[in-house]
Amino acid sequence: MEKHRMTLFSESSASGGCCGFLNALIDLHPRYLDANMLSFAGGSSSCYVYLLKLAQLTVIALEAAFPQEIRFADSSRLCVCSDYQLPKALRVSGLIAYNTDLASKVDGRVLLGNGSREEVEIRVASTISAAQLMEWANSTYLPSLEENESALATTRHIKGARVDISSLDYALWFYGRSFKDQPHHLCRTVMYLLFFFAVLVSFLGFSLSCQTLDGKQS
């Protein structure tokens, strides 16, 4: 555990910003390597698609939990942590749509293959859609609120605020969960589970607390 702590908080990880930290997490445990190989053009070419839900969520959660101790300069490069709730939220909102065959499978609660083209494309489409939603909110919606004094008076909007990936990810996840009767895609995978994430964040929080106490005592 000491070796892993030194790896995660080493200068090489810090100098790489959150991207360097993501690489350190992937080196720490294969559970963080949320990636799949997809083939194109009839199998003549292929590429890895990296979604990294758990690794990115770890960065987001650490910044939120320890704002004074942890702040990544390049956290704006993060994407939403796409699993099964976010696609449901975006589909209900009309921001993504499935073709007839895929819609039939999702609505019929048919199990999709882990790492299959269908599962990966759902998550990729959700990632792209969420990025476009955040861009629209920051470039169009929030500026329009700032120009509307009555809107400002009836909302908790703070002038100059921006939607960041952390707030958008949580909002979409919470919104998706509110539609209890709407189906989400089904897939047997460990990449949507958060148990390991909770254990790691608890460990890192304890480590930071110990470092803070050591600093105060010295």
Rounded distance, CA 83 to CA 124, Å? 10
Residue-wise pLDDT tens digits, 42-75: 777 888 899 999 889 888 888 887 888 788 888 8
Rounded distance, CA 71 to CA 80, Å? 18
The token duo for 113 is: 């293959």
Rounded distance, CA 91 to CA 118, Å? 15
| Contact (Cβ atoms closer than 8 angstroms) between residue 187 and residue 113 | yes
Rounded distance, CA 50 to CA 37, Å? 9
Q: Which one-letter amino acid corresponds to residue 49? A: V
Rounded distance, CA 215 to CA 218, Å? 5
Around Cβ 43, how many Cβ atoms within 10 Å?
7
The token duo for 17 is: 């910003």
Rounded distance, CA 191 to CA 92, Å? 23
pTM for the full predicted model: 0.76
Question: Residues of the chain with pLDDT > 70: what percent?
Answer: 72
Residue-wise pLDDT tens digits, 107-151: 999 999 999 999 999 999 999 999 999 999 888 877 776 666 555
The predicted model gives 4-20 an average pLDDT of: 50
